């Protein structure tokens, strides 16, 4: 006998899973926990968002060293990453300093050696927007909203599984 309730719940579970996979893919680039390392970024870095205090976004190299995040410029002014963009071989960072001035820098590196340091070269906003392929806003609000959506999808998935079990028995 055909049970339309089970069919509807099954479709909702599949839709929920597809939506969750898409959000999981997006959350990787925002530095949130992701089930898969979806992409190699330039310089073999991985985006990480520290959700403990203080909230901050940074990049981690392949050995787990967080070398590019809340960093200091040559003038000793601290910058906080609010957005980053990537192209095939570069990372571009839009950051705000302690005086509230927005800076846009291109990240370069002498080599892919783990010990080599990142260099930050200030560029114009025109070059930034013309060169990057994808831009990720890693401000607190956007990251926390993305994390809330993922959490909501997980809760909905669990509820749908319980409903599926319930209707299979009744």
Q: Band the pLDDT of 143: cuts 50, 70, 90.
A: confident
90, 106 in Cβ contact below 8 A? yes
CA within 13 Å, CB half, 56: 17
Q: Inter-axis angle of helices 140-169 and 4-29, to 10 degrees? A: 160
- Round to whole Å and give the CA distance between 34 and 97: 29
pLDDT in tens, 7-29: 999 999 999 999 999 998 888 88
- Round to whole Å and give the CA distance between 167 and 164: 5
The domain ranges of the chain are 5-169
Which helix H or strand E contains 20, and what residues bound it? helix 4-29
pLDDT in tens, 73-106: 556 667 788 888 888 778 888 888 878 888 888 8
Which helix H or strand E contains 150, and what residues bound it? helix 140-169
pLDDT in tens, 24-55: 888 888 888 767 776 778 877 888 887 776 67
pLDDT of residue 126 exceeding 60: yes
pLDDT in tens, 53-78: 667 788 877 777 766 665 555 566 67
């Amino acid at each position: 006998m055909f049970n339309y309730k089970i069919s509807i719940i099954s479709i909702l579970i599949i839709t929920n899973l597809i939506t969750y996979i898409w959000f999981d893919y997006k959350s990787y680039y925002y530095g949130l926990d992701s089930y898969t390392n979806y992409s190699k970024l330039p310089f073999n870095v991985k985006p990480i968002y520290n959700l403990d205090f203080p909230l901050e976004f940074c990049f981690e190299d392949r050995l787990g060293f967080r070398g590019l995040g809340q960093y200091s410029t040559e003038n000793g002014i601290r910058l906080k990453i609010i957005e980053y963009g990537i192209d095939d071989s570069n990372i571009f960072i839009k950051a705000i300093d302690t005086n509230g001035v927005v800076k846009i820098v291109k990240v370069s590196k002498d080599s892919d050696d783990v010990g080599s340091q990142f260099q930050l070269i200030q560029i114009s906003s025109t070059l930034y927007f013309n060169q990057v392929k994808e831009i990720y806003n890693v401000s607190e609000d956007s990251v926390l909203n993305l994390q809330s959506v993922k959490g909501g999808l997980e809760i909905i998935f669990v509820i749908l599984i319980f409903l599926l079990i319930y209707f299979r028995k009744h």
